[in-house]
C-alpha cells in the first residue's frame, strides 16, 4: 500500500504536484537537499524485504512478529494518509499524521530492542535494519 501510494503520488501526480515540488514550495531550514530524498528507495526496498521475510512460513510465529504487532500496519496507514494530506496541502493534518508515523516507528524500534539484544543474522538484516 505504501509503495503504491507513494509511486502514484509522484507518477500521477496527486493534486498535480509531486512530493518534491511540494517540499520545494515550503522552504524551511530543515528540509534536506533534493538528492537526499533518494534514500527512500533504499528504505522502501528494506521494508519490502521485511514484509516478505515476516510472511515466510518459518517466521510467522517468531517473537519479532509478535513484538511489532499492529504497529507496522499502522505505520503503513500513517505513511499513506500523510501523502494525501501533504499533496492536498492540509499541512497541519499532514504534520499530525507524520507524528503518528514517527511514534509508530519509534514503538517498533523500542519493542524490538534494536541494538540492545542479540538476534540471529537474518532477523538483524531483514527486521532490525529496516527499522533502524
Specify the range with the lowest mean pLDDT, choosing from 31-35, 68-72, 73-77, 124-128: 31-35
Tell me the average pLDDT of the chain. 93
What angle do helix axes 71-87 and 91-112 make, rounded to 10 degrees?
A: 160
pLDDT value at 48 more than 90: yes
User: Is the Cα dihedral 118, 124, 55, 130 positive or negative?
Assistant: positive
**In the chain, where does DSSP find H-type helix?**
2-11, 19-25, 39-55, 63-68, 71-87, 91-112, 121-123
pLDDT for the residue 34 = 67
CA neighbor of 126 nearest in space, from 70, 40, 55, 73: 55
Of the chain, the percentage scoring pLDDT greater than 90 comes to 79
| Residues 50, 126 contacting (CB under 8 angstroms) | yes
Count how many Cα atoms sit within 13 Å of the Cα of residue 92 in the half-sphere of its side chain: 0
The verdict on pTM exceeding 0.85 is: yes
pLDDT value at 69 more than 90: yes
d(CA 76, CA 56): 20
What dihedral do alpha carbons 64, 6, 20, 109 form, nearest 10°? -10
Amino acid at each position: 500500500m505504501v509503495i503504491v501510494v507513494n509511486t502514484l503520488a509522484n507518477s500521477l501526480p496527486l493534486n498535480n504536484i509531486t512530493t518534491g515540488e511540494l517540499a520545494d514550495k515550503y522552504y524551511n531550514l530543515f528540509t534536506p537537499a533534493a538528492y537526499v530524498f533518494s534514500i527512500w528507495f533504499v528504505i522502501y526496498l528494506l521494508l519490502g524485504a521485511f514484509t516478505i521475510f515476516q510472511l515466510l512460513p518459518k517466521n510467522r510465529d517468531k517473537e519479532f512478529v509478535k513484538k511489532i504487532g499492529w504497529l507496522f500496519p499502522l505505520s503503513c496507514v500513517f505513511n499513506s494518509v500523510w501523502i494525501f494530506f501533504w499533496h492536498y496541502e492540509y499541512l497541519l493534518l499532514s504534520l499530525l499524521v507524520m507524528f503518528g508515523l514517527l511514534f509508530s516507528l519509534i514503538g517498533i524500534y523500542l519493542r524490538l530492542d534494536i541494538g540492545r539484544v542479540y538476534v540471529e543474522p537474518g532477523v538483524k538484516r531483514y527486521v532490525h535494519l529496516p527499522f533502524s
